[in-house]
Amino acid sequence: MNKQIYPLLIAQFLSAFADNAILFTVIAMVMQSAQLASWYVPALQSVFLVAFVVLAPWMGALADNHAKSNILILGNLVKAAGAGLLLLHTEPLIAYCIVGVGAAIYSPAKYGILPELAGHTELVKANSWIESSTILAILAGMVIGAKVADYSTTYALIGTIVLFLVSAAATLTLPKNINRPAKQENSQISQFTQQIRDFFISPRSRFAILGASLFWATAATLRVIIVAWAPAILLSHNASDIAQLTVFLAVGIIVGSAIVPKLIPLEQLQRARLPAYAMALLIIVLSNVSSVLPAQSVLFLIGMAGGMFIVPINAAVQELGQQAIGSGAAVALQGFFQNAAMLLAVGTYTYATAQGLKPVSAMLSLGVTVLLCAFLVAMRLAASRPVNSG
């Protein structure tokens, strides 16, 4: 493995750790405040996602036209600024939106720099290391961030700022290569629109994008529902308890992702509909659970089904994208649609909560909606050809 990968691993671990720590710090702030309504946490998730959707046509070009190491530093500094605004008691919706802008800047550069650091034969291994370190950072950030925030949100915010800055410092050691693509005559928005048209010609491509969007919209909505459902049903009243529940969901995704390659190869992509159905049915089951241990078990199974669903879908996007618009552009396109789906789903839940929707009803509605959407997406797959059929 190229030694230049290691500073990136350190920087990515610290940044992902801080991303999740700050999320549960904000959740702790909401739970500790009697003045903030139940719709506030989903609203926070919504404002975080806005930047990913609005800035999508420009962020890929920003990373391609500048040294990606500098873009990683910029993203961390913007995220640190958002955490600083929270520390200064700025309206959390505004401050957390700034954190989202930093994350939108950071994401394309994080993946785009890997081909510059790793050769062709090491690229898959480098991606594996990045994903593994990110998952570990997410789990650790959720648990440790929530525990510190339950003790002191001030200390938690200071800690996240320090982590973002240390991550930026680690990135200083990365090379500052600039591999500019050929200059395009059309605007970024025009190019982005054309890529959507080119990629969506294939029914199978549409299925892959819709499937990925369904998964991430479900995951984002379920996470914010749990924040309201756990205190009401499981009598969990601090961020640490909620973080521990979310850990079971994340671990389930890891396990499902690990076992799915043997069960659902790309040639049998139609099998992905089965874990999608299972994920939906398990969410419905979770809406009827009323104690911690069964909830943890069902959340693990939901995550496992979700992991088995999203991994072959992601592989299909990359393979189909390579044939149509380039794998990098396809991943950027996938990011736009899945974040738009997350924003729509969480925004709808935010509105419904403000109108008085209860957590159990919200979870049941989510399960039924996912089941219906999975069926409709699977119908699209049934009408398409195998990935390797051209």
- What's residue 371's pLDDT? 92
Judged against a pLDDT cut of 60, whether residue 389 lies above it is answered with: no
**Residue ranges of domains in the chain, CATH in brackets:** 1-175 (1.20.1250.20), 187-390 (1.20.1250.20)
Judged against a pLDDT cut of 80, whether residue 83 lies above it is answered with: yes
- What's residue 74's pLDDT? 93
Distance CA 282, CA 218 (A): 12
- Of 130 and 144, which is predicted with more confidence? 144
Give me the percent of the chain exceeding a pLDDT of 70.
79
Mean pLDDT of the chain: 81
Nearest Cα residue to 102 out of 143, 156, 161: 161
Task: Provide the 3-class DSSP secondary structure of residue 220.
Answer: helix
Band of residue 360 on the pLDDT scale cut at 50, 70, 90 = very high
- What's residue 387's pLDDT? 42
Which of the residue ranges 43-52, 153-162, 301-310 would you say has the lowest mean pLDDT?
A: 43-52
User: Could you please report the per-residue DSSP string of 126-158?
Assistant: HHHHHHHHHHHHHHHHHHHHHHHHHH-HHHHHH
Q: How many helices (H) and strands (E) does the chain have?
A: 15, 0
Distance CA 240, CA 142 (A): 8
Judged against a pLDDT cut of 70, whether residue 78 lies above it is answered with: yes
Inter-residue contact 330 to 317 (CB < 8 Å):
yes
Distance CA 123, CA 1 (A): 9
Which of 59-68, 99-108, 151-160, 336-345 has the largest mean confidence? 151-160
- For 180, residues 6+ apart whose C-beta sits below 8 A from its C-beta are 64, 65
- Of 183 and 80, which is predicted with more confidence? 80
Judged against a pLDDT cut of 70, whether residue 331 lies above it is answered with: no
Average pLDDT on 329-350 reads 81
Distance CA 114, CA 136 (A): 19
CA distance readout (Å), 222 to 26, 156, 346, 387: 17, 24, 9, 30
Distance CA 29, CA 291 (A): 25
Average pLDDT on 330-344 reads 79
- Of 290 and 333, which is predicted with more confidence? 290
Distance CA 117, CA 252 (A): 31
Which of the residue ranges 5-14, 59-68, 174-183 would you say has the lowest mean pLDDT?
A: 174-183
Inter-residue contact 306 to 275 (CB < 8 Å):
yes
- What's residue 386's pLDDT? 46
Task: Provide the 3-class DSSP secondary structure of residue 288.
Answer: coil
Judged against a pLDDT cut of 70, whether residue 332 lies above it is answered with: no
- What's residue 66's pLDDT? 78
- What's residue 119's pLDDT? 61
Distance CA 145, CA 154 (A): 12
Average pLDDT on 223-250 reads 86
Give me the percent of the chain exceeding a pLDDT of 90.
26
Average pLDDT on 138-149 reads 88
Indicate the burial class of 161 (C-beta count within 10 angstroms; 0-12, 13-18, 19 or more): buried
Judged against a pLDDT cut of 90, whether residue 142 lies above it is answered with: no
- What's residue 333's pLDDT? 73
Band of residue 123 on the pLDDT scale cut at 50, 70, 90 = low
CA distance readout (Å), 13 to 16, 79, 191, 343: 5, 15, 33, 25
- What's residue 122's pLDDT? 63
Band of residue 321 on the pLDDT scale cut at 50, 70, 90 = low
- Of 115 and 58, which is predicted with more confidence? 58
- What's residue 168's pLDDT? 92
